[in-house]
């Protein structure tokens, strides 16, 4: 690309020389793009910029806050007037919501391939950030994250089948199942509370059949939220090869000191 106009959101950055930074940008046009640009780009704000370069690492220039109209357009319109970076607050997401937004950013820059357009996921990312700018209860915050994770799994090609087990037998309400990301739901042979407890203690992700049926029937709701959270966490950890998430560690530290 040569001086191509992009609209996107900054997911992550590293210092790069004295006045520049290495940016991971989630762009509307090309998905995640890596580039080097002037320091100072904010998180959680729509950006418009120009990218140049044939290799994986681009050069970003004229980085500015994009207007609302620009984020709704297919590209940066000639003659549009961006906001000046120095005149815009760093972010308008705060408190626990900021930890949630950092989590969304981290799973995106660590899991998405580079230069693979994902316009549907990009739109859902914008919607999630708008939700995180609003006052949310703890349950509403967790619902926002679980719903976004589901869109991410779909883009990555992971479809969670909750109506049948790994050999296509229907889920039975009085059975217990173990979830393996690359296999699906496997029946646990011994069906009693002690076996479920031991499986959970050993780090296995187990569910009662009745809970799985309810998840499939209701989807991600407040009533099924704890079960979806357990399932999604296991899948995220698997996709990350069980490497820790820095945003999750920050969240845990913040909870301990409250």
Among 30, 62, 87, which residue terminates a domain? 87
pLDDT of residue 197: 53
Residue 193 has pLDDT above 50, yes or no: yes
Does residue 232 sit within a domain?
no
Does residue 122 sit within a domain?
yes
Angstrom distance (rounded) from CA 133 to CA 127 = 10
- Confidence at 160, pLDDT banded by 50, 70, 90: confident
227: closest CA among 242, 205, 244, 247? 205
Residue 240 has pLDDT above 90, yes or no: yes
For the chain, what is the mean pLDDT?
87
Q: Do residue 22 and residue 52 come from a single domain?
A: yes
Q: Do residue 252 and residue 149 come from a single domain?
A: yes
Angstrom distance (rounded) from CA 136 to CA 148 = 15
pLDDT of residue 90: 40
- Domain total for the chain? 3
pLDDT of residue 46: 94
Range of the domain at 202: 160-219
Its pTM stands at 0.87
The per-residue pLDDT for range 64-94, each reduced to its tens digit, is 998 765 555 343 333 333 443 443 444 579 8
Q: Do residue 175 and residue 214 come from a single domain?
A: yes
Pairing of strands 46-52, 31-38: unpaired
Most confident stretch, 84-98, 129-143, 188-202: 129-143
Q: Do residue 212 and residue 182 come from a single domain?
A: yes
Angle, alpha carbons 255-130-60 (nearest 5°): 95
Q: Do residue 24 and residue 76 come from a single domain?
A: yes
Angstrom distance (rounded) from CA 117 to CA 169 = 36
């Amino acid at each position: 690309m040569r001086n191509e106009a992009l609209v996107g959101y900054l997911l992550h950055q590293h210092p790069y020389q004295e006045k520049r930074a290495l940016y991971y940008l989630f762009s509307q046009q090309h998905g995640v793009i890596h580039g080097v640009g002037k320091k100072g780009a904010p998180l959680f704000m729509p950006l418009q910029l120009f990218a140049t370069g044939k290799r994986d690492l681009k050069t970003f220039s004229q980085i500015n806050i994009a207007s609302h109209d620009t984020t709704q357009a297919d590209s940066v319109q000639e003659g549009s007037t961006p906001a000046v970076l120095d005149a815009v607050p760093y972010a308008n997401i705060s408190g626990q919501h900021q930890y949630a937004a950092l989590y969304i950013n981290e799973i995106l820059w660590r899991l998405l391939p580079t230069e693979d357009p994902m316009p549907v996921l990009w739109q859902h990312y914008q919607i999630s950030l708008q939700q995180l700018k609003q006052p949310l209860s703890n349950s509403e915050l967790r619902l926002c994250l679980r719903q976004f994770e589901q869109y991410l799994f779909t883009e990555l090609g992971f479809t969670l089948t909750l109506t049948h087990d790994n050999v296509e037998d229907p889920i039975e309400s009085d059975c217990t199942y173990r979830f393996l990301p690359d296999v699906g739901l496997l029946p646990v042979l011994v069906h009693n509370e002690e076996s479920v407890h031991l499986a959970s203690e050993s780090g296995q992700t187990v569910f009662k059949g009745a809970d799985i049926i309810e998840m499939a029937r209701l989807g991600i709701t407040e009533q099924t939220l704890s079960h979806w959270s357990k399932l999604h966490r296991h899948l995220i950890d698997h996709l990350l090869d069980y490497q820790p998430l820095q945003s999750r560690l920050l969240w845990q530290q913040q909870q301990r000191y409250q």
